[in-house]
A = this chain, B = another copy of it.
Amino acid sequence: MPHRLHRGDLPDDYVPGPAIAVDTETLGLQPHRDRLCVVQISRGDGEADVVQIPRVGPEPVVLKRVLADPAVTKIFHYARFDLAVLFHRLGVMPGPVYCTKIASRLARTYTDRHGLKDLVRELIGVELSKQQQSSDWGADTLSQAQIDYAASDVLHLHALRERLDTMLAREERSALAQACFDFLPTRARLDLLEWDETDIFAHS
């Protein structure tokens, strides 16, 4: 699997293009507790840049600039979590956002399986290994298996987006999906303020 490993930041001369796939690996699922360890990015060309974020170190200025760039769409799977982590840890709210999990919920109403593995299997015909998902992403030196796993999580997001966009258009739900994507940065901010369990939109 072709990918480049970086320590601390993307290279200075990184050029994102109109859309990048982004995923993060953290020490756990609590953004206030668990630090950001890895940010993976792919331009959709079958390659990935895997950026290891050390516990202490200088700001990843190139990465932050790319994430904040309004001309670059950021494709996530379950953006809600990554946005909260990235905003909390790097102080930048990525946007504009596309989320393959929400697109799948709106387009694939014939199933309740909206995991990345399910999407990649059904829509692309590739079997993803999720073995390294729960591993020590805070390690100083990542294993080759970890790096491969991290890369594999972003390599298919562009293709997924294309398939899902076709389905959303067919069902006339593209605008609805876009409105949900646009709310995701706010959804992530609410999570960080502890409005994660209580639904802010509920009656009571």
* Chain A interface residues toward B at CB < 8 A: 78, 80-81, 101-102, 105-106, 114-115, 176, 179-180, 182-187, 189-190, 193, 195, 199-201, 203-204
Q: Is the interface of A mostly helix, strand, loop or mixed?
A: helix
Closest to A187 in B: B201
With A and B bound together, what is the CA distance between A139 and B58 in angstroms?
Answer: 69
Nearest chain B CB to A27's CB is how many angstroms away?
18
A204 touches B105 (CB 8 A): no
B199 touches A180 (CB 8 A): no
**19 residue pairs A–B, Cβ–Cβ below 8 Å:** A80-B201, A81-B203, A102-B200, A102-B201, A105-B195, A105-B200, A106-B200, A176-B189, A176-B190, A176-B193, A179-B183, A179-B186, A180-B186, A180-B190, A182-B183, A183-B183, A183-B186, A184-B201, A199-B199
Closest to A193 in B: B176
With A and B bound together, what is the CA distance between A186 and B176 in angstroms?
Answer: 7
With A and B bound together, what is the CA distance between A185 and B179 in angstroms?
Answer: 9
A78 touches B203 (CB 8 A): yes
Q: Which residues of B contact A195 (CB under 8 A)?
A: 105
Q: Which residues of B contact A185 (CB under 8 A)?
A: 179
Closest to A194 in B: B109
Nearest chain B CB to A175's CB is how many angstroms away?
9
Q: Which residues of B contact A187 (CB under 8 A)?
A: 201
Q: Which residues of B contact A179 (CB under 8 A)?
A: 183, 185-186
